[in-house]
Structure 1
């Protein structure tokens, strides 16, 4: 076969790419010349426009066949009945299974040329995806970039974390001397919006550890046994990425008091959580469990047993210096002029971190509203901040009303002594 003729036809196809008969003729010449790899591309282009073109299918089969089979088949074979198979169920000429009639492995071709040739059969819109087993949960693992230095205030909380987790991790020899294990659990509780989740991320960043945040939506499933398996998989992921901080957000939802549960399925979830915290099926060395809740009185008592979430830390609303830092943070990218952070912090006692963010948003709305009304842009000033402080009410008041009853009438074990002391101090102000 003359290479000059093939080159001429190739140039013609490039000039007229939509001329399918010309492209097929070029593919025939390429197959006859033993240049099957080049013929495949042209046959695939034809099939992408005409999936039922028998000549293109035959050329594709010839181009994919071994050289000897290609010589016997000819430049443009038709797709006919399969040759007789040998005893092993294979085509003795092509060495392919007899089930692949005509020597064409359409499944392999569809996989190899899927980006050029459309699929042979379209899926129904409601056809479920094939189940390939349980997905790897490693994508849930994060690397925190914040540290305790980014957390304003919370001196007592930081001190407790240093003793429980960070100190032993930084001093392995001292840890070995005192027999301090790297496993442990800490329950953070307090009013909503006071930074419990942010604190957990800061602990992970301080340790240089992996961080996995677990919520009720990551665990609960309508199928029996699936919730327990999800919980086990998440703990296994934490063990596989040790040192790792596993953060159990809203632990009262996953670990609610079993005596108050009407669902047997939820009771088994609590039992599975207890098993994972004990590390019965896998060691929890290097897995630091931090749990957070707004309602510690709803958490099952077994979860707070020694060896599980045995240490409890009250996370209170930020103090005045911390409030000033939080306000400054939320004003950092806004136009501000003459704002006295100390005065604003003094006017926002009992505000949570979330309340302070809302306060800054409200002050920005005041300045923006005036700018729209007057047609002149003005900065956020002290008056905006103080007006916002009068409008926004602290969201922690409702929580402390409930907590006061718990501290007064349900503190026989002394587990809420720190809360009682704070409420007493707050009342005396």
Structure 2
């Protein structure tokens, strides 16, 4: 049987048995070996859909893409492998090939490091194009260039340890102009991803003194948080009867200053749970792979301190839509975040309530809204008149005050959010302090002081935020995700 006849027979078998993974992979390998690159790419993608975590298939797809000149697509396919502490050696060589047209220095470094781990993967032609010599441990002797492999090469069973590394040189990646360290093996932390982390998180464990009693209004939001963490902890037998456990993910969204962070602290305080407030600086790092390790370490810390409220502010910077990203390493951060939310098993995040807050929920990747991740989106609205009066009362409770009419001030502060009201009280207090200094004694705060401050202020961002939200509610709401905002838009002019 000729080679083409054999390929046709394999194609027909794959057509009749599309779910047969070994058959599809064998067909893809044979198409790659015969130079049918476009067809090989199609078959590798079909095989990868059947087995998304198969390293060999991902390497085969990357090789087909590299040989077609689709270097950016190849790097995207290789990203999950290159982020591994011990990446497959063949993946490193293919990455060098893909990086060569745009970043010779990064390509040379990936090639040197990979071939030092497994000299049999040396490619003299690629080394010549990179302008580097052969490694100190030469590849097996050959009188002719290595033929195209019949299939993708996976990682060696026991790769030789690289020589003791010098201080990593700083090289720009193919994806970004920022500098990253030269690739090197990152030791896996003892105990796995849910034991001790391989880096120390910079976020700190706190114990919040704030409870729901310190949060005015927002009854619907508070009830959602109680059902997620508080009640399952207080009544575990009842929730276990329905297969529900403490923990999960809640995405808080709304205009700036509406009290999302304050609400997260109150949720932790209400339960008496640990509280970890994660900022962007605690996760994002200029070094390739470090952001993912920071995420893993932060989740590991939360699991060690359960029950715990893990709070991500401005989460859209960590969970943006991957389709909008031009840099592959940014997509890898999103992938790592999704993996941490899923956990290695259904109990991994039990007792950990992952709260996230954003002013721009429409920029968050849709995968985060899948059940089991941030499966509950809670709108934190601007406070109504009753809530504003209650908030003003809480803000003034520890200050000298005369008889106050907070309802009157609340009616005069339409559109104000919590941050605006805090600014209003601060302004009134400053004016009263000047008056008290002149009088030489504390003068109580009055309703007139608050009213005067209210007349001098304008709400900061609610109308602007609702104007932006309106575009998404009216023109990008096929899934109905933003129906909750409709009542707030009816009065917007």
Query: Do these two structures clear the TM 0.5 threshold for a shared fold by scoring above it?
Result: yes
Matched, 1:313 2:378: yes
Q: State how far apart, in whole Å, the 2-side matches of 1:376 and 1:249 are.
A: 41
Structure 1 residues 311 and 139: alpha-carbon distance in aligned structure 2, compared to 1, 3 A threshold: closer
Which of 277, 285, 289 pairs up with 2:350? 285
Match of 1:299 in 2: 364
TM-score (ref. length: structure 1): 0.64
Structure 1 residues 377 and 248: alpha-carbon distance in aligned structure 2, compared to 1, 3 A threshold: closer
For the residue of structure 2 that corresponds to 1:191, the secondary structure is coil
Contact 1:138 1:237 in 2 (8 A): no
Matched, 1:200 2:279: no
Q: State how far apart, in whole Å, the 2-side matches of 1:368 and 1:312 are.
A: 42
Matched, 1:409 2:475: yes
Of stretches 184-193 and 387-396 in structure 1, the one that deviates more from structure 2 is: 387-396
Contact 2:199 2:293 in 1 (8 A): no
Match of 1:329 in 2: 394
Match of 1:253 in 2: 317
Matched, 1:183 2:247: yes
For the residue of structure 2 that corresponds to 1:164, the secondary structure is helix
For the residue of structure 2 that corresponds to 1:246, the secondary structure is strand
Matched, 1:234 2:298: yes
Contact 1:318 1:353 in 2 (8 A): yes
Contact 2:228 2:247 in 1 (8 A): no
Q: State how far apart, in whole Å, the 1-side matches of 2:443 and 2:395 are.
A: 18
Alignment of 1:314-393 (within 5 A): 314-369=379-434, 378-393=443-458
Aligned length: 295
Q: State how far apart, in whole Å, the 2-side matches of 1:187 and 1:306 are.
A: 12
Deviation of residue 313 (structure 1)? 0.4
Instruction: Give the structure with higher Rg (CA).
Output: 1
Deviation of residue 427 (structure 1)? 4.8
Contact 2:199 2:294 in 1 (8 A): no
For the residue of structure 2 that corresponds to 1:420, the secondary structure is helix
Superposed CA offset, 1:59-87 (max 9, x none): xxxxxxxxxxxxxxxxxxxxxxxxxxxxx
Match of 2:486 in 1: 420
Matched, 1:399 2:447: no
Q: State how far apart, in whole Å, the 2-side matches of 1:144 and 1:379 are.
A: 30
Match of 2:83 in 1: none
Q: State how far apart, in whole Å, the 2-side matches of 1:207 and 1:349 are.
A: 33
Q: State how far apart, in whole Å, the 1-side matches of 2:477 and 2:239 are.
A: 33
Which of 285, 296, 299 pairs up with 1:221? 285
Structure 1 residues 321 and 208: alpha-carbon distance in aligned structure 2, compared to 1, 3 A threshold: same
Match of 2:138 in 1: none
Matched, 1:209 2:273: yes
Superposed CA offset, 1:357-403 (max 9, x none): 11112222333455678889754333321121122111222111111
Q: State how far apart, in whole Å, the 1-side matches of 2:437 and 2:275 are.
A: 44
Match of 2:333 in 1: 269
Q: State how far apart, in whole Å, the 1-side matches of 2:209 and 2:336 are.
A: 31
Q: State how far apart, in whole Å, the 1-side matches of 2:412 and 2:235 are.
A: 42
For the residue of structure 2 that corresponds to 1:290, the secondary structure is strand
Structure 1 residues 377 and 144: alpha-carbon distance in aligned structure 2, compared to 1, 3 A threshold: closer
CA RMSD of aligned residues (A): 2.4
Matched, 1:168 2:262: no
TM-score (ref. length: structure 2): 0.56
Q: State how far apart, in whole Å, the 1-side matches of 2:287 and 2:246 are.
A: 35
For the residue of structure 2 that corresponds to 1:283, the secondary structure is coil
Contact 2:203 2:278 in 1 (8 A): no
Gaps of 5+ in 2: 1-196
Q: State how far apart, in whole Å, the 1-side matches of 2:381 and 2:266 are.
A: 17
Q: State how far apart, in whole Å, the 2-side matches of 1:139 and 1:359 are.
A: 31
Structure 1 residues 200 and 371: alpha-carbon distance in aligned structure 2, compared to 1, 3 A threshold: closer
Structure 1 residues 148 and 370: alpha-carbon distance in aligned structure 2, compared to 1, 3 A threshold: closer
For the residue of structure 1 that corresponds to 2:383, the secondary structure is coil
**Runs of 4+ in structure 1 over 6 Å off:** 372-377
For the residue of structure 1 that corresponds to 2:428, the secondary structure is helix
Structure 1 residues 138 and 359: alpha-carbon distance in aligned structure 2, compared to 1, 3 A threshold: closer
Structure 1 residues 159 and 365: alpha-carbon distance in aligned structure 2, compared to 1, 3 A threshold: same
Superposed CA offset, 1:28-60 (max 9, x none): xxxxxxxxxxxxxxxxxxxxxxxxxxxxxxxxx
